[in-house]
Amino acid sequence: MRITTVLLSFLYAEYQCQEFYRLATNYSKNIPPSKYTGKEMEVLISLFINRVSAVDESKEEISLDVFLQLYWTDERITIDNTSLTDQVELTWARDHSFWTPDLYIRQLREMRILSLFQDMASVRLYKNSTLRVSTGATVIIKCDMDFSLYPLDVQTCNVDFSSYKYTVADMHFRWKDDPPLSFPSDFGDGYRLPRYVVSFTTEKANHTIYYGEGNHIPFVVPHPASLSKPHNLLRRR
């Protein structure tokens, strides 16, 4: 009886969630919103860097635990006018019937979605048709290191965020204000590992990458390694 009650409650909640939002007629999740509106489209990125778990010099890799959030507006998706809520929490597996940006990380070697009882991924729809996707993950990033100045070397590991499928005519990424990078309260001047102190910064790239056809402009998160460069470095301890 208890299991049946839980199941019925879940099905009722699913029905309610589906009733809270509407998709435009002939909506296709394969077509970006810019094709529908004819307007330039921005996808905002914010990143909470929870932990630097490892720096592997032999493999030239850095491992991070992060929470990544993407924001964009799709006017083809609306919250029902009869709803009294300003936002709806969706379930990724069940409600993934809408367009999402194809974020591509050029230096990514491995990504594992964090999970306990289920994957740490959520989708939120706001009343102004803004969508927010949030996911927690452990990422392993390739970093080309140069130890010729050891032990006074400074290793800068650039992480490029861009789109592989879409060109700048379809969409472009921009760092979210307030601020784009955030950290735990005990972050201080950087993450302290046994041999390093790691800190971060962001910038907009001023170059274009060509993946076959069209222009793809990446975003960069440089996070360096070792000794001197005041605000984005990994210093040896």
Asked if residues 27 and 18 have their Cβ atoms less than 8 Å apart, the reply is: no
Q: 14-18, 22-26, 148-152: which has the minimum mean pLDDT?
A: 14-18
Q: Name the band, by pLDDT with cuts 50, 70 and 90, for residue 126.
A: very high
pLDDT at 5 over 80: no
Q: Name the band, by pLDDT with cuts 50, 70 and 90, for residue 6.
A: very low
Quote the CA–CA distance of 43 and 46 in Å, as a whole number. Answer: 10
pTM score, whole prediction: 0.78
Asked if residues 147 and 227 have their Cβ atoms less than 8 Å apart, the reply is: no
